[in-house]
Amino acid sequence: TQTTFIAVKPDGVNRRLVGKIIQRFEEKGFQLVAMKMIQPPRELVEEHYAEHKGKGFYNGLVDYLCGGPVVAMQWKGKGVIARSRAMMGATKDAAPGTIRGDFSIEVGRNLVHGSDCAEAAEREIKLWFGEDKIN
């Protein structure tokens, strides 16, 4: 089975949507295996979104993610990487029924992050959880 990295971004925390977002993944049948709330340092966020460095929205994106506490999580289950992305909804114009589609109207305030492939999941889990011991 796969493990992925999911984060509730600061707007999700601010809007009290943490519970609702967790509930969707739990109801789907995925297992929450690690979770922490963290005010991420800028260098961590810059590294997290390194693939977007140089793009017009990069600095605003980093500011956004550093703008408050983030709930960082590891979720486990069959096909969790692609399936959690589908549950989050597309980056642009997420469909109703998805987390972004139901709760967000701005690409720059889209509540949730999910790893987009197995390599990204491994990299992001290392980056956000590092030495933390996970049972």
CA–CA separation, 127 and 121 (whole Å): 10
Residue 31, both tokens:
């297992």
Beta-carbon-side half-sphere exposure of residue 6 (alpha carbons within 13 Å):
34
Residues between 19 and 78 that touch ligand ATP (CB under 6 A)? 52, 57, 61
9: nearest Cα among 110, 117, 128 = 110
If binding is defined by CB under 6 A, does position 91 make contact with ligand ATP? Answer: yes
Residue 100, annotated ligand binder?
yes
69: nearest Cα among 126, 5, 15 = 15
Residues 104-133, mask of contacts with ligand ATP (x by CB under 6 A): ---xx-x--xx-x-----------------
Q: Which position's Cβ is nearest ligand ATP?
A: 91
Q: Indicate the residue among 34 and 61 with the shorter CB distance to ligand ATP.
A: 61
Q: How far is the CB of 78 from ligand ATP (least distance, A)?
A: 20
Report which DSSP code applies to 105.
-
Catalytic site positions: 113
